[in-house]
Amino acid sequence: MKFPRAAGVLLHPTSLPGPNGIGDLGPDALRFLDVLADAGFTLWQMLPLGPTGYGDSPYQCFSAFAGNPLLIHIPGATSTLPTDKVDFAEAIAHKRRMLGHVHARFVPDARYEQFVHEQRAWLDDFSLFMALKQAYAGVPWTQWPAAFANRDPQALAGFRISHADVITQVCVEQYIFFRQFTALKQACRARGVQLMGDVPIYVAHDSADVWANRELFQLDEAGGLIVQAGVPPDYFSETGQLWGNPIYDWDALRARGYDWWIARMRAALEMFDIVRLDHFRGFEAYWEVPGADTTAINGVWSKGPGLELFNALTDALGPLPIIAEDLGLITPEVDALRDALGYPGMSILQFAFGGDGQAKHFQPHTFPRERVVYTGTHDNDTTVGWWNAEVGTDSTRSADDIEREHRFAKRYLDTDGHDMHWTLIRVALASVANTVLIPMQDILGLGSNARMNLPGRPSGNWQFRFTWEQLTPEITARLRDLTQLYDR
- What are the pLDDT digits (tens) for 432-466? 999 999 999 999 999 999 999 998 788 899 999 99
* pTM, rounded to two decimals: 0.96
Q: At what angle do helices 259-271 and 120-135 cross, to 10 degrees?
A: 90
CB contact set of 331 (below 8 Å; sequence gap of 6+): 281, 284, 285
Please say if the pLDDT value at position 241 is more than 90.
no
Catalytic residue among 56, 173, 325, 370: 325
Please say if the pLDDT value at position 397 is more than 80.
no
Q: Which pLDDT value is given to residue 29? A: 98
Q: How far apart are CA 44 and CA 47, in angstroms?
A: 10
- What are the pLDDT digits (tens) for 269-313? 999 999 999 999 999 999 999 999 999 999 999 999 999 999 999
Q: Counting beta carbons within 10 angstroms of the beta carbon of residue 316, is it exposed (0 to 12), middle (13 to 18) or buried (19 or more)?
A: middle
CA-closest candidate to residue 225, choices 285, 147, 304, 140 = 140
Please say if the pLDDT value at position 346 is more than 90.
yes
* Active-site residue flag, 379: yes
Q: Which pLDDT value is given to residue 236? A: 61
Catalytic residue among 56, 198, 206, 278: 278
* Active-site residue flag, 315: no
Q: Which pLDDT value is given to residue 396? A: 64
Domains and CATH numbers, the chain: 6-106+180-485 (3.20.20.80)
Catalytic residue among 28, 379, 394, 419: 379
* Active-site residue flag, 474: no
Do 488 and 429 form a contact (C-beta atoms < 8 A)?
Answer: yes
Q: Which pLDDT value is given to residue 263? A: 98
- What are the pLDDT digits (tens) for 181-236? 999 999 999 999 999 999 999 999 999 999 999 999 999 999 999 999 999 987 66
Q: Which pLDDT value is given to residue 456? A: 76
- What are the pLDDT digits (tens) for 7-65? 999 999 999 999 899 999 999 999 999 999 999 999 999 999 999 998 999 999 999 99
- What are the distances in angstroms from CA 473 to CA 157, 444, 470, 479? 57, 12, 9, 10
Q: Which pLDDT value is given to residue 395? A: 53
Neighbours of 154 (CB within 10 A): 8
